[in-house]
Amino acid sequence: MVSLNQLIAVCLLYVIGLFAVAFAAERAAVRGHGDWLLRSPLVYTLSLSIYCTAWTFYGAVGYAARSGLEFVTIYLGPSIVMIGWWWILRRLVRIGRSHRVTSVADLISSRYGKSNLLAILVTTMAVIGVTPYIALQLQSVTLSLSIFASAETGAAPGADPINSAQAAFWVAVGLTLFTVLFGTRNLNVNERHHGVVIAIAVEAVVKLLALLAVGIFVVWGLAGGIDEAMAQIDRSPMGHWQVEGGRWVALTLLAAAAFICLPRMFQVLVVENDDERHLQIASWAFPLYLMLMSLFVVPIAVVGLDLLPEGSNPDLFVLSLPLSQGQSNLAMFAFLGGFSSATSMVIVATLALSTMVSNHIVMPIWLAYGQNTVQQSGDVRHVVILSRRLSILLIISLGYFYYRLSGGGGALAAIGTISFGGVAQFLPALLGGIFWRGATRIGAVTGLCVGFALWIFTMLLPSFGAGAALSAATFEQGLFGIVWLRPEALFGVRGLDPTVHAVIWSLSLNTLSFILASLFSFPSPMERLQGAQFVNIFDHSSPARGWTASVAASEDLMIMAQRILGAPEAQAFFRAQARLQEKSEGLPEPTPRFVQALERELAASVGAATAHAMVSQLVGGASVSVQDLLAVADESAQMLEYSSQLEIKSRALTDTAAKLRRANEKLTQLSHQKDSFLSQISHELRTPMTSIRSFSEILRDAKGLNPEEKTRYASIIHSETIRLTRLLDDLLDLSVLENGEVTLNQQSGTLQELLDRAITTASAAATRAIVIDRNRSTENIQLETDLDRLVQVFINLITNAQKYCGAEQPELKIRTRLINGCVEVDLIDNGTGIEPESRDLIFEKFSRVPGQGGEGAGLGLAICREIITRLQGTIGYMPDTPGTGFRITLPQTHSVQERKTKTLIDQA
Amino acid sequence: MSKHVVLVEDETNIAEAIRFLLGREGWRVQTLANGATAVEVIRKAVPDLVMLDVMLPGKSGFEILKELRADAALAELPILMLTARGQSRDRDIAEDAGVSRFMTKPFSNEEMLSAVRDLTASGTADA
């Protein structure tokens, strides 16, 4: 049997051992030895295991015994983060390193314009949120001590063999001392606590081995092997897969959020990170560690429920199982494991919180209300150290009081969940800050306050039980008697599990108000500057240019730096900066770059907001210069500008290209037209000349021609000459019409007279008679236009009908009408009409309808169209008539005068 | 038996002149005014000579030429092409398609007749 005193002695020895390890590690770090271990991914991964606190060590078994497999969610969340959200972590680490971030509060405040308000808010919330968690550790250590005591005294389980309150008090005192000694020996948080980290790594190994040892003992020693253990699990209620979807999702989400937001996790993940690449290894190694930690949870729970008497606390199965079997050494090892889990968590958590409290609450107050400004002599460092030590005391005291208040009776996992819920409220502001440029300080403050208020109301206060913090009436009837303000059924939503209910409402309303307030508020220049740097961290990791000019004297800065960093460090820093400026001796010039570097150096000790406040005391506050604003504007505006310019240019280029293409097409077309025109002219001229030449040679050379032949050949020559002449006339006419050089003579007459003239002329030249069908009564329409030209068109159309109408008894129908001052004349023959595919072409030069023969050059209709266009009318083929039909439409009065006047007005 | 020529020409006056000239030389002249049926007619008639205009209603002289040359039985048939479009490109097309002689209108009667004589003389020599 192990006596309580023996146990305490072993604990003390263990702690001293840890001290030795930490001390050796720090010495080694200072000398530059042992980097292979201190800066190894293994140590980094093991240090992440402070996620596994006494909750995981003891509480997971209790959780499993109470709620079955649901305990897995607590491991699932962080595994998802490490594996799936690796890119978020990488971004956080990069931001943390490049901006020398000291805590999660520092990160959020820094992102939203180095806001002190936000820093204080986040710090307060973190302290409140983590308090139950620290209470949980106190409770677990006290419980484990009491188990040993009861085993020693033989008291019944459930009784209080030791004075729990007293025990918890002494545990708290011990932890405070431990943390102060461990964590606040050097100031610069960002220098990294190599000692602490290595001690945590050792504790990680101890707790893992202890839990594995108990697990192996239970499976092989008590259950009798894997098969039997599995069979036993199958018999127990835990073997049945009971999954409540809502709770699983909510708890996994909560664990994932807490893994990022918990101050102690942020400390080891981001602040203590030496190398971004360690994340890659940790992304699989840490989930592996979690898997090993959870391996034996179910067997221990099942065997514990089986072997131990009814009413034993399942949270302590890890200890009570070996004890009940008389395995006191194993029990001692298990106790050390639990002790390791509790202490490592408390040390890192209080360290992280105390940094936040001193940097974001104590230091700003001291700077604002102490009459001393930073220029006064004296070392500020003792203020910082003292405030940190007091903060540690305060935080552990809070944990202790929570433990006393909550009665120390709650299940460990339930307490842990409450804590997770509190810190998870940082998530929207944190993720929004590093991914969304539009997130503003107002948005972050609003979201945090809403989320945190809901958390307090729905999770923290109800955790004390009905009638303690909240009256039973509030639970029943809602806050102030308003029904929809019941803490476990907000807005009348009932039937949800309390945890799911709280997580859903607090996180969703938090996110919603964060986004809405961000959208409706306007960020300050500093916020824009920082926002740009955080969101685009991978584009430019160079520091922000925060200080405008050399207002601050280097001496003042030196004095201030010595007081915060310590004289040797400050001098070394100034020397290094002077060398950077290529000054062999003396102080560096207070260039913006130097002041910026100094601010970062100070930020590593006192946080961004405080460091910023200190430097602005000396430099004069003008912290955002026009250049800075331009730098921010550059990013967005310049990009916008560029892209819109590019867009305009590319559009212009596309337009130009299209224009060129069109012009080119037109030119090619024109060139083709010219070629085919010349070719056509050549053909039209050569054809009659061939006949003329041939027959004239026959007349000249051939002997023995009879007179009829002579006459015939001479008349062929004659007609071909006339054809040539007509062709030339038509060409000239068309050319004149096309160039617009034609002079129109305005005359007046009736349509009837015009048609009479046209028919007379056409009939005189015709070789074949055509019957003309007119409706003379409708033709009495007075026209005022170039009548000669119009007659020319009619003659052309009538002649075409005479020549090409294929009917046996050709007939041409002429119909006229007057509609709204427009004259319409239809000329329709009774022939076969023109094939649809040829109709488009008939008005083109030299186009002749295939298969019609005839000696025309194909210019007639082209001329008609030109003339009618000049007369401001239109001519078209009538597709729906049985034969070939043309319709001419032109204004009754074509005023040449009017057009001229109009042109003159246009020109004037 | 008198020699037989198929003349494909849509200009009646030119056709008449050629008919007169070749008739006096002892040719039997068969005239076609449309290109569409020309290949069919020539294949049936198997003349001693074909005279082709280029711009014809129904089917162009070039197409007729190609179809005639594609027929193995007519590969050696002398074909004289007459065109009023005097461009060298047309001559190239015709020669590629395997024309025997290419003449541009207007031509002198003597020139035309000697071309006809040349073509039929060499044709006889080949045969």
Q: Which residues of A touch B24 (CB under 8 A)?
A: 702
Distance of residue A875 Cα from the nearest chain B Cα, in angstroms: 27
Those of residues 24-63 in B touching chain A at CB distance below 8 A are 24, 33-34, 55, 57-58
Residue contact B17–A702, C-beta within 8 A: no
Residue contact B14–A695, C-beta within 8 A: no
Model confidence pLDDT, tens digit, residues A415-456: 778 888 888 888 888 888 888 877 888 888 888 888 888 888
Nearest CB to B108; choose among A683, A697, A716: A697
B125 pLDDT more than 60: no
CA closest to B20 among chain A residues = A698
A879 pLDDT more than 80: yes
Q: Give the model's pLDDT for residue A195.
A: 78
Residue with the bigger pLDDT between A410 and A565: it is: A565
Task: Report the residue of A691, A727, A852 to disrupt the B interface, i.e. the one with the largest count of B CBs within 10 Å.
Answer: A691
Q: Which residues of B touch A855 (CB under 8 A)?
A: 11
Nearest CB to B106; choose among A679, A690, A701: A690
Nearest CB to B55; choose among A683, A691, A695: A683
B13 pLDDT more than 60: yes
Domains identified in chain B and CATH numbers: 3-118 (3.40.50.2300)
Q: Give the model's pLDDT for residue B78.
A: 92
Count of pairs with CB atoms under 8 A, one residue in A, one in B? 69
Model confidence pLDDT, tens digit, residues A616-668: 666 654 444 555 544 555 555 556 666 778 888 888 888 899 999 988 888 88
Residue at A854: amino acid letter: G
List, in sequence order, every beta strand (DSSP E) within A378-497: 485-486, 489-490
Per-residue confidence at A411, pLDDT binned at 50, 70, 90? low
Nearest to A270 by CA among A602, A44, A479: A44
d(CA A349, CA A264): 4
**Residue A290: Cβ-neighbour burial (10 angstroms; 0-12, 13-18, 19+):** buried
Residue at A610: amino acid letter: T
Q: Which residues of A touch B105 (CB under 8 A)?
A: 686-687, 689-690
A157 pLDDT more than 50: no
Q: What is the mean pLDDT of residues A543-552?
A: 44
Residue with the bigger pLDDT between B7 and A235: it is: B7
Other beta carbons less than 10 A from residue A621's beta carbon: 12
A835 pLDDT more than 70: yes
Q: Give the model's pLDDT for residue A900.
A: 44
Residue with the bigger pLDDT between B20 and A546: it is: B20
Give strand pairing partners of A783: A749
Q: What is the mean pLDDT of residues A774-796?
A: 88
Q: Give the model's pLDDT for residue B29.
A: 92
A279-282 contacts: CB < 8 A, separation 24 or more? Answer: A279/A86, A279/A89, A279/A90, A279/A93, A280/A41, A280/A86, A281/A41, A281/A42, A281/A44, A281/A45, A282/A41, A282/A44, A282/A45, A282/A48, A282/A82
Task: Specify whether the CB–CB gap between A360 and A116 falls below 8 A.
Answer: yes
Q: Give the model's pLDDT for residue B21.
A: 92
Residue contact B13–A679, C-beta within 8 A: no
Mean pLDDT score of chain A? 77
Q: What is the mean pLDDT of residues A733-753?
A: 82
Percent of chain A with pLDDT over 90: 3
Q: Which residues of A559-583 are buried (b: 16+ CB within 10 A; e: fewer)?
A: bbbbbbbbeebbeebbeebbeeeee
Dihedral sign for Cα atoms in the order A94, A95, A100, A105: negative
Provide the CATH topology of domain A637-737: Helix Hairpins (1.10.287)
A56 DSSP 8-state letter: I
Residue contact B85–A679, C-beta within 8 A: yes
Residue contact A686–B11, C-beta within 8 A: no
CA closest to A691 among chain B residues = B14
Q: Which residues of B touch A692 (CB under 8 A)?
A: 106
CA distances from A270 to A46, A104, A259, B5, B37 (A): 14, 9, 12, 104, 94
d(CA A740, CA B58): 36
- B11 to chain A, any CB pair closer than 8 A? The answer is yes
Nearest CB to A691; choose among B10, B17, B110: B17
Q: Give the model's pLDDT for residue A541.
A: 45
* pLDDT-wise least confident of A486-495, A800-809, B20-29: A486-495
Residue contact B106–A693, C-beta within 8 A: yes
Domain ranges of chain A: 4-68+114-412, 544-626, 637-737, 742-907
A544 pLDDT more than 50: no
A742-907: CATH number: 3.30.565.10
Residue with the bigger pLDDT between A516 and A168: it is: A516
- B85 to chain A, any CB pair closer than 8 A? The answer is yes
Distance of residue A874 Cα from the nearest chain B Cα, in angstroms: 30
Q: Give the model's pLDDT for residue A204.
A: 87
Intrachain domains A637-737 and A742-907 with the same fold:
no
Chain A residues in contact with chain B using a Cβ-Cβ cutoff of 8 Å? 679, 682-684, 686-695, 697-698, 701-702, 716, 720, 850-853, 855
Angle at A468 between CA A466 and CA A470, to 5 degrees: 65
**Spatial CB neighbours of A361, under 8 Å, sequence gap ≥ 6:** A120, A123, A124
List, in sequence order, every beta strand (DSSP E) within A674-787: 747-750, 771-774, 782-785
A258 pLDDT more than 60: yes
Nearest to A712 by CA among B2, B1, B16: B16
Percent of chain A with pLDDT over 70: 78
CA distances from A662 to A659, A669, A850 (A): 5, 10, 31
Other beta carbons less than 10 A from residue A814's beta carbon: 23
CA closest to B110 among chain A residues = A697
Distance of residue B26 Cα from the nearest chain A Cα, in angstroms: 15
Residue contact B17–A692, C-beta within 8 A: no
Q: What is the mean pLDDT of residues A847-872?
A: 75
Per-residue confidence at A866, pLDDT binned at 50, 70, 90? confident
* pLDDT-wise least confident of A254-268, A302-316, A858-872: A302-316
Residue contact B21–A698, C-beta within 8 A: yes
**Spatial CB neighbours of A100, under 8 Å, sequence gap ≥ 6:** A190, A600, A601, A603, A604, A608
**Residue A539: Cβ-neighbour burial (10 angstroms; 0-12, 13-18, 19+):** exposed
pTM: 0.55
CA A155 distance to own-chain centroid: 62
Q: What is the mean pLDDT of residues A298-316?
A: 78
Nearest CB to A682; choose among B24, B86, B110: B86
A354 pLDDT more than 80: yes
Model confidence pLDDT, tens digit, residues A41-91: 888 888 888 888 777 788 788 888 877 777 888 888 888 888 877 778 888
d(CA A541, CA A533): 8
- B88 to chain A, any CB pair closer than 8 A? The answer is no
Taking the CA of residue A655 as centre, how many other CA atoms within 13 Å lie in the half-sphere pointing to its CB? 6
- B19 to chain A, any CB pair closer than 8 A? The answer is no
Dihedral sign for Cα atoms in the order A741, A745, A750, A752: negative
Per-residue confidence at A695, pLDDT binned at 50, 70, 90? very high
Residue contact B58–A850, C-beta within 8 A: yes
Residue contact A697–B109, C-beta within 8 A: yes
Q: Which residues of A touch B87 (CB under 8 A)?
A: 679, 682
Q: Give the model's pLDDT for residue B79.
A: 92
Per-residue confidence at A718, pLDDT binned at 50, 70, 90? very high
A487 pLDDT more than 70: no
d(CA A62, CA A211): 14
A107 pLDDT more than 60: yes
Other beta carbons less than 10 A from residue A523's beta carbon: 21
Give strand pairing partners of A562: none
Model confidence pLDDT, tens digit, residues A322-338: 888 777 788 888 888 88
Token pair belonging to A362: 């104590």
Distance of residue B126 Cα from the nearest chain A Cα, in angstroms: 31
* pLDDT-wise least confident of A164-173, A353-362, A364-373, A516-525: A364-373
A551 pLDDT more than 70: no
- B103 to chain A, any CB pair closer than 8 A? The answer is no
Task: Report the residue of A672, A678, A697, A721 to disrupt the B interface, i.e. the one with the largest count of B CBs within 10 Å.
Answer: A697
Per-residue confidence at A158, pLDDT binned at 50, 70, 90? very low
B126 pLDDT more than 50: no
Nearest 5°: phi and psi at A155? -70, 160
Q: Are strands B79-83 and B101-104 parallel, antiparallel or unpaired?
A: parallel
Task: Report the residue of A674, A683, A722 to disrupt the B interface, i.e. the one with the largest count of B CBs within 10 Å.
Answer: A683
CA closest to A720 among chain B residues = B13
d(CA A871, CA A889): 10
Q: SS3 of A749, please?
A: strand
Give strand pairing partners of B4: B28
Q: Give the model's pLDDT for residue A898.
A: 45
Q: Give the model's pLDDT for residue A711.
A: 92
Residue contact B107–A682, C-beta within 8 A: no
CA closest to A686 among chain B residues = B84
Q: Give the model's pLDDT for residue A785.
A: 86
Distance of residue A821 Cα from the nearest chain B Cα, in angstroms: 43
Residue at A285: amino acid letter: A
Model confidence pLDDT, tens digit, residues A203-227: 888 888 888 888 888 888 777 777 7
d(CA A448, CA A510): 6
Distance of residue A739 Cα from the nearest chain B Cα, in angstroms: 26
Q: Give the model's pLDDT for residue A620.
A: 53
Q: Give the model's pLDDT for residue A899.
A: 47
Q: What is the mean pLDDT of residues A380-385?
A: 73
